[in-house]
Amino acid sequence: MSKETKVFKVLANSRRLKIMEMLLAKERLSVSTISHKLNLSFKSTSRHLCLLENSGLLEREQEGLFAFYKIKKDLKAAFKKLLEGMSVFV
């Protein structure tokens, strides 16, 4: 499977797309903050974040017991343009 296919497949899930939108608005967010804002279990949120990280979209930072995620710097502007371009189809 190509990298492009993998990325679009991961982003096809509405919750993962919402996570990416949330991370565009903030520099980084903790798993618990994302879980709370999406009203998802911690386990479910962690799974979504893991898939986004494994697809190459996110970076994970560990601070003690807390994990924080952010969009990779080199992808942030491109993802913002992608979302803007998708509005044409909605």
Instruction: Quickly count: other Cβ atoms within 10 Å of residue 70's Cβ.
Output: 15
Tell the CATH topology of 3-80. Arc Repressor Mutant, subunit A (1.10.10)
The ranges assigned to domains in the chain are 3-80
Reading the chain (90 residues) residue by residue, the pLDDT tens digits are 788 888 889 999 999 999 999 999 998 999 999 999 999 999 999 999 999 999 999 999 999 999 999 999 999 988 888 888 877 666
Short-list 21, 36, 42, 34, CA closest to 68 = 34
pLDDT at 84: 82
pLDDT score, position 90: 62
pLDDT for the residue numbered 22: 95
DSSP character for 31?
H
